[in-house]
Amino acid sequence: MALDLPAVHAAAAAQAERVTPGIGDMNAYLASQVKERSHREVLGPLLPASGASGVILHRGERIAAWGDPETPEMAFSVTKSVVSIVAGVAFDQGLLPDPHRPVADTVDLPELAGTSVTWHHLLQQTSEWNGYLWGKPSWLDGPRRDGTPGSAWEYNDVRVNLLCLALTHLFARSLPSVLDEHVLGPLGASDTWSWHGYRNSLTTIGDETVPVVSGGAHWGGGLWISAADLALLCPRDGLLSESWIERSWTPCPLKPDYGYLWWLNPFPSTPSTGRAARGNADQHMLWVDPSRDLVIVSRWGRGVEELVRAVSEAVPVVG
């Protein structure tokens, strides 16, 4: 099978027309994403949406684009997979040699003192940690439980923010500086991306006050990055060790379509070899299919499953 470039271009053109509705007022849009009215207060900065955009890469070469793929957009929970990449940097540098060790054995945080929560739990979203962080309670994303770590899976922004705090202390520096030095800088990304936390997400390391970024945008903040730069964040040998990539893409026993903050084959009509960073109910997505050497990025667009299906059918499996 040969690459069907006209079909790829047709899929890109169709995605350009599937613009997410309601993004003209970002404050109102964000408020609609948080069910609990008592905790809708936005704590971090907001970035106005520019409209649908995206890129498609095959064998590292751009073969299609739509909208303005050079304009940064809020990444929402796509940021979580970037947190996983930063954790991979820590693993590869020897700062995080055993993800199954309790976080409290490695960093001194009151939020985790006396708990058995491991890095593995936080990365798989099975920590069952309960508490408040930056004024937001952990129960906002699910029922209140007193479960033991590793006993249940729950997609939870507050707990991912806890992971961001722990990683900030592990590196003893801000996570954007780590991402810049060890990932986006070496990959040749533009200087238009930024990573934000909340106005109150600050921690002390030594004598320095360090901002802590968020792993999503429930309450503003998170990663702001263009489609073109997001496409660079494809886990591969040279960026991260094969050992970390394998861990990242190993199914969680409690959630087989989830790994270390990456979704595994999340759509029924798309190839099982796909991995995805997903944000805001798939209005933002980074799709990676190693079997096709294929990367798809879609920003502020609906119907991404159809996009991925159509492009995958037009791109051959690498022999």
Q: What is the CATH number of the domain that holds 155?
A: 3.40.710.10
Rounded mean pLDDT of the chain?
A: 95
User: Measured between alpha carbons, how far is 72 from 228 in angstroms, rounded to an integer?
Assistant: 9
pLDDT of 136 over the 90 cut: yes
Q: What is the pLDDT of residue 208?
A: 97
pLDDT of 139 over the 80 cut: yes
Q: What is the pLDDT of residue 35?
A: 66
pLDDT of 314 over the 80 cut: yes
Q: What is the pLDDT of residue 146?
A: 75
Domain count, the chain: 1
Which tokens hold the place of 160? 């991912």
What is the reported pTM? 0.96
User: Measured between alpha carbons, how far is 191 from 12 in angstroms, rounded to an integer?
Assistant: 26
Higher pLDDT, 38 or 13: 13
Q: What is the pLDDT of residue 309?
A: 98
User: Within a domain: residue 105?
Assistant: yes
- Out of 134-143, 206-215, 257-266, which region has the weakest mean confidence (pLDDT)? 134-143
Q: DSSP letters of 77-90?
A: THHHHHHHHHHHHH
User: Measured between alpha carbons, how far is 82 from 193 in angstroms, rounded to an integer?
Assistant: 13
User: Within a domain: residue 186?
Assistant: yes
Tens digits of residue pLDDT in 230-244: 999 999 878 999 999
User: Within a domain: residue 292?
Assistant: yes
Whether the Cβ atoms of residue 155 and residue 125 lie closer than 8 Å to each other = yes
Which tokens hold the place of 282? 């798939």
> pLDDT tier at 27 (50, 70, 90 boundaries)?
confident
User: Within a domain: residue 58?
Assistant: yes
State which residues form the domain around 244: 5-314
Whether the Cβ atoms of residue 43 and residue 201 lie closer than 8 Å to each other = yes
- Mean pLDDT (whole number) for 257-261: 98
Whether the Cβ atoms of residue 226 and residue 67 lie closer than 8 Å to each other = no
CB-facing half-sphere around the CA of 142: CA atoms within 13 A = 19
> pLDDT tier at 9 (50, 70, 90 boundaries)?
very high
Residue type, 275: R
Q: How far is CA 196 from CA 191, 220, 222, 293, 296, in A?
A: 15, 8, 5, 31, 24
For residue 111, give the DSSP letter: G
Q: What is the pLDDT of residue 236?
A: 87
The candidate with the shortest Cα–Cα distance to 254, out of 81, 103, 84, 124, is 124
- Mean pLDDT (whole number) for 251-265: 97
Q: What is the pLDDT of residue 33?
A: 72
* Distance, first Cα to last Cα, the chain: 10
User: Within a domain: residue 319?
Assistant: no
User: Within a domain: residue 291?
Assistant: yes
pLDDT of 31 over the 70 cut: yes
User: Within a domain: residue 166?
Assistant: yes
User: Within a domain: residue 209?
Assistant: yes
> pLDDT tier at 28 (50, 70, 90 boundaries)?
confident
Runs of H (alpha helix) within the chain:
5-16, 26-31, 78-92, 119-124, 157-171, 175-179, 227-230, 242-248, 304-314
Whether the Cβ atoms of residue 301 and residue 20 lie closer than 8 Å to each other = yes
Tens digits of residue pLDDT in 150-209: 999 999 999 999 999 999 999 999 999 999 999 999 999 999 999 999 999 999 999 999
> pLDDT tier at 140 (50, 70, 90 boundaries)?
confident
Higher pLDDT, 143 or 197: 197
